[in-house]
A = this chain, B = another copy of it.
Amino acid sequence: MEPVGRRAEIPTGSSLLDAAQAAGIGLVSLCGGEGWCESCIVRLAGGELSPVTAAEREVLSAEQLAAGYRLACQAIPTKDVKIEIPPESLATPQRLQVEGMSAQVVLDPPIESVNVVLDPPSFEDMRPDRERLEDALAEAGHANVSLSYPVLIDLSSRLRDLGWSIQVVLQNDQGIAILPPEMPIFGLATDIGTTKLAAYLVNLTTGETSAQTGAMNPQIAYGEDILSRIGYCREHKDGRRVLQARLAATLNDLIRKMCAEADIAADQIVEAVAVGNTAMHHIFAGLDVGQLAMTPYVPTTGQALKVGARDVGLDIASGARVYLLPNIAGYVGADHTSVILATDIWKTDRTSVAVDIGTNTEITLVAQGRLSSCSCASGPAFEGAHIRDGMRAAEGAIERVQIKNDEIRVFTIGGKPPVGICGSGILDAVAEMRRCGILDDKGALQEEHPLVRQTDQLPELVLVPADATGHGRDITLNRKDVNEIQLAKGAIRTGLELLLLESGIGAEQVENFIVAGAFGTYISIPSAIQVGMFPDLPLDCFHQVGNAAGMGAKQALISLERRRVAQDIVKQIKYIELTTHPAFQKQFMRALFL
């Protein structure tokens, strides 16, 4: 079963859902295998399954069926099968996305390493340590090597401690680390999100990921969103340094954790790549951020940036560099560059869209070989903010909602009693409410609908009655909540439409629609289409790729060629500023309708 790569043997007659459960794969099953929901949707990639059932015909569209989609609870293998599980069907216990679409990248790291044995100094040969090492490197075919300052600092004790037999790690002509001979070397890739951090430890010799982990961004304590963190930096003299130091400390925790898991020392990590939105990029790199909150919102730099690991406080080899992928604009950052890199959409001749949904949603359109990008202020509704019963994607959050025959079913993270609703659940809820006629196209609840309850304020939908929740209070949605989702999805759709407008093509021409990022991985694409956030394209145009930004960072870590590609991409991209676009207002008003 892909993408998890798990194999299972099952008794004849078992459904795919049984098989998945036997193999320890957590497939979502809202209806408990009754075949009336579509939460366990999978795709047949090889082999043969039992014929499509009536239940499946009811739930799946003809297009889905034609594309090989089935319900795992209904389909029974008739021979060996290969099954693709879309990310949204996986009840992943890991809510910090650290996996993304894999791409084959040829190993071409910016690092090489040389083993040398030096003659110890004597009264007959009193060359200083640096010159002695440089001579030995020249003999080993590496002339003109200079040692970086952090390496020089400890050179003399290091050479003596290692008994003059060493491995020199080189980046171009710079010696950046000295290790025992033959010791394996590693790299760190990290995706610094406003909310979440993901980190990967990669073996630079094999290209394999040795460990991966994630954490919340500790800067949340200084502001939930980018603007409030920039505000903190502007209002506090040392604000920028405080936020940087907190971030570095948490990254160091992740590094320690991964080193322990892979059983290596932190100074074996000799290179790093970081991506993040422009504000996170700037704060991590120690750059000014005040200008990101001032029109016209320009970054300090749009080029790729190399900073010393020491300069940003990362506890890896002290001579290591951190390579930061280039930013596209003040609100289209290196993380989006990384998504474009990882998904390779820039090199296809198909009309493609890549969208990374968050408080700011970045969109890139590739059409007729040209790239254009924009940033949409989609707001924090999809993170549960501004929604009465909203919450982050955590245990007990409703992440799936289905309404059928006036019956509401919800699915929570961790299968716990519901305590609130997170972004993907709200999106589902709004889509289902609209589909069932509970909402009109302006987002008003239809008071006559049996599921709608009158209150002394606004009419509301009771998603989960008090007696079924974890906290004993009703979980409800009202028009205000729906309007928040309309604003968010409207902003995203507007961004997409303006990119299409600028390129002179229509949404129906999009052949390849990449949805990146943690949130994008969990949403139901049909729901997103239903509410009008995404255009009504065939479902197999859509690809939910998980943390593509992290994948791009890993690619740039192990491949100089990928770094060059990233730099080329950014130069090619035309950035479209939405806030000053003449068609923005009209387009946005239109995009608000459900």
A298 at the interface (CB under 8 A from B): yes
Interface contact A302-B123, CB-CB below 8 Å: no
Of the listed stretches A149-157, A340-348, A361-369, A471-479, chain B binds A149-157
CB distance from A151 to the nearest CB of B (A): 10
CB distance from A404 to the nearest CB of B (A): 48
Interface contact B149-A307, CB-CB below 8 Å: yes
A495 at the interface (CB under 8 A from B): no
A502 at the interface (CB under 8 A from B): no
Smallest CB gap from A234: residue in B: B157
CB distance from A326 to the nearest CB of B (A): 9
CB distance from A92 to the nearest CB of B (A): 37
CB distance from A313 to the nearest CB of B (A): 14
* B-chain residues with CB within 8 Å of residue A132 when the two chains form the complex: 298
Task: Knowing A298-B127, A298-B128, say if A152 contacts B287 (CB, 8 Å).
Answer: yes
Task: Knowing A121-B296, A130-B300, say if A288 contacts B580 (CB, 8 Å).
Answer: no
A455 at the interface (CB under 8 A from B): no
Interface contact A302-B131, CB-CB below 8 Å: yes
Q: How far is the CA of A287 from the CA of B128 in the complex (A)?
A: 13
Task: Knowing A123-B580, A296-B121, say if A301 contacts B157 (CB, 8 Å).
Answer: no
Q: How far is the CA of A300 from the CA of B288 in the complex (A)?
A: 37
Q: How far is the CA of A132 from the CA of B296 in the complex (A)?
A: 14
CB distance from A393 to the nearest CB of B (A): 33
CB contact list, A192-211 vs B, under 8 A:
none
Interface contact A155-B298, CB-CB below 8 Å: no
Interface contact B286-A129, CB-CB below 8 Å: no
Task: Knowing A122-B296, A296-B123, say if A131 contacts B301 (CB, 8 Å).
Answer: yes
A405 at the interface (CB under 8 A from B): no
Task: Choose from B126, B302, B575 the contact partner of A296 (Cβ within 8 Å).
Answer: B126
* B-chain residues with CB within 8 Å of residue A127 when the two chains form the complex: 298, 302
Copies of this chain per assembly: 2
Interface contact A288-B156, CB-CB below 8 Å: yes
Q: How far is the CA of A302 from the CA of B299 in the complex (A)?
A: 42
A14 at the interface (CB under 8 A from B): no
CB contact list, A94-149 vs B, under 8 A:
121-123, 126-132, 149
A295 at the interface (CB under 8 A from B): yes
Q: How far is the CA of A291 from the CA of B286 in the complex (A)?
A: 36
Task: Choose from B156, B157, B290, B575 the contact partner of A157 (Cβ within 8 Å).
Answer: B290
Task: Knowing A152-B301, A300-B155, say if A291 contacts B129 (CB, 8 Å).
Answer: yes
* B-chain residues with CB within 8 Å of residue A128 when the two chains form the complex: 298-303, 327
Smallest CB gap from A158: residue in B: B288
* B-chain residues with CB within 8 Å of residue A370 when the two chains form the complex: none
A160 at the interface (CB under 8 A from B): yes
A398 at the interface (CB under 8 A from B): no
A311 at the interface (CB under 8 A from B): yes
> Interface SS of chain A: helix, strand, loop or mixed?
loop
CB distance from A143 to the nearest CB of B (A): 15
* B-chain residues with CB within 8 Å of residue A131 when the two chains form the complex: 301-303
CB distance from A186 to the nearest CB of B (A): 24
* B-chain residues with CB within 8 Å of residue A296 when the two chains form the complex: 121-123, 126
Question: Which of A122, A128, A307 has the most B CB atoms < 10 Å from its CB?
Answer: A128
A355 at the interface (CB under 8 A from B): no
Task: Knowing A156-B288, A290-B157, A296-B121, say if A308 contacts B149 (CB, 8 Å).
Answer: yes
Q: How far is the CA of A286 from the CA of B128 in the complex (A)?
A: 16
CB distance from A329 to the nearest CB of B (A): 7
Task: Knowing A122-B296, A123-B296, say if A291 contacts B157 (CB, 8 Å).
Answer: yes
A577 at the interface (CB under 8 A from B): yes
Q: How far is the CA of A541 from the CA of B44 in the complex (A)?
A: 98
Interface contact B160-A291, CB-CB below 8 Å: yes
Task: Knowing A288-B157, A308-B149, A311-B149, say if A126 contacts B298 (CB, 8 Å).
Answer: yes
Smallest CB gap from A301: residue in B: B130
CB distance from A571 to the nearest CB of B (A): 11
The digit string for A287-330, where 1 denotes a CB below 8 A from any CB of B, is 11111001111111111010110010000000000000001011
* B-chain residues with CB within 8 Å of residue A126 when the two chains form the complex: 296-298, 329-330, 575, 577
Q: How far is the CA of A331 from the CA of B127 in the complex (A)?
A: 13
The digit string for A349-380, where 1 denotes a CB below 8 A from any CB of B, is 00000000000000000000000000000000
CB contact list, A137-185 vs B, under 8 A:
149, 152-157, 160
* B-chain residues with CB within 8 Å of residue A154 when the two chains form the complex: 288
Q: How far is the CA of A176 from the CA of B327 in the complex (A)?
A: 23
The digit string for A235-246, where 1 denotes a CB below 8 A from any CB of B, is 000000000000
CB contact list, A550-594 vs B, under 8 A:
575, 577, 580
A-B CB proximity, top 7 nearest? A156-B288, A130-B301, A128-B302, A156-B291, A128-B299, A156-B300, A123-B296
Besides A121-B296, A123-B580, A128-B301, 9 other A-B contacts (C-beta < 8 A):
A123-B296, A126-B296, A126-B577, A129-B300, A129-B301, A153-B287, A155-B287, A157-B288, A160-B294
